[in-house]
Amino acid sequence: MSVARFIADQRTNYRVPHTITCLLLGVSLSWFYKWRGRPPTPRQQRRADLDAAVAAMFDDAKGLHGSPRLHADLRAAGWVVTEKTVAESMRRQGLAARKAKRRKGLTKQDKTAPKFPDLVNRDFTAAAPNRKWCGDVTEIPTVDGKLYLAMVIDLYSRRLLAAATSLRCDAELCEQAIKIAVAVRGGQTKINNVVFHTDRGRPIPLEPSPSSASI
């Protein structure tokens, strides 16, 4: 790094007046002003362009991307740059990725609803297929918005029996997942006495009609 660049960086990054830095380093103000009036070198111009691109992509990502993901974004945009260089650019500009806040849960328990007995009793194993099923709903963030995924697995083999997606987290999504699981296992007559357990700790025996099951 040149002396003039060091003086300029002290002023930009740390708010140290260039008059003080020049005095401490024993260089004249006229020399620094002459250097500042020069056009940027190709290396300086590339660094300025890179800083601008990093700042723009960081803003587009709403501050959620760190240097690895910004590096991938820049490479996709045609930049030939290393992740270390991207990290240095972020450090120069004071850019730090923030963690996205995640919701603690998708549903709120209805305290007025009847309590179901715990038929699983925290034993998430099964001696045979179609004895115990588990279900869950998760939220998947996408560039177009939130997507909700409902799943059903058989605790005997841990096999995924069904996966249904929807733009809404509602009973219809959960019902669709159960219908798929019942179809995969041969129909309603094959799933009598199956215990279905949800992540809310409310297991229920499945009735012959899966549409009446609640998750």
169 is a domain residue: yes
* 44 has pLDDT over 90: no
Domain shared by 137 and 82, yes or no: no
Q: Are 100 and 69 in contact (CB under 8 A)?
A: no
User: Which of 62, 93, 124 is the C-terminal boundary of a domain?
Assistant: 93
Residues 81 and 149 in one domain: no
142: in domain: yes
Q: What is the pLDDT of residue 82?
A: 93
Structure tokens of 69? 């993901």
Side by side, the strands of the sheet bearing 195-198 are: 159-166, 145-154, 132-142, 195-198, 204-205
Distance CA 27, CA 7 (A): 10
Residue 108 above 70 pLDDT?
Answer: no
Please check whether residues 86 and 140 belong to one and the same domain. Answer: no
Residue 62 inside a domain? The answer is yes
Whether 20 and 88 share a structural domain: yes
Q: What is the CATH number of the domain that holds 148?
A: 3.30.420
C-alpha 125/C-alpha 116 separation (Å) is 20
28 and 89 fall within a common domain: yes
Contact 185/130 with Cβ under 8 angstroms? yes
SS (H, E, C) 32-63: HHHHHCCCCCHHHHHHHHHHHHHHHHHHHCCC
Are 86 and 150 part of one and the same domain? Answer: no
Q: How many separate domains does the chain show?
A: 2
pLDDT digit string (tens) for 54-79?
999 999 988 888 899 999 999 999 99
Q: Which residue range is the domain that position 204 belongs to?
A: 132-212
Q: Is residue 65 part of a domain?
A: yes
| C-alpha pair distances (Å), 105 with each of 99, 108, 137 | 17, 8, 9
Residue 39 lies in a domain: yes
| Residue 108 belongs to a domain | no
pLDDT tens, 163-206? 999 988 888 888 899 899 999 888 888 888 888 887 653 334 44
pLDDT digits (tens, 9 = 90+) for 118-169: 777 788 888 888 888 888 888 888 877 888 999 999 998 888 999 999 988 8
pTM: 0.44
Q: Do 200 and 212 touch, CB atoms closer than 8 A? A: no
Give the end of a domain, one of 64, 93, 122.
Answer: 93
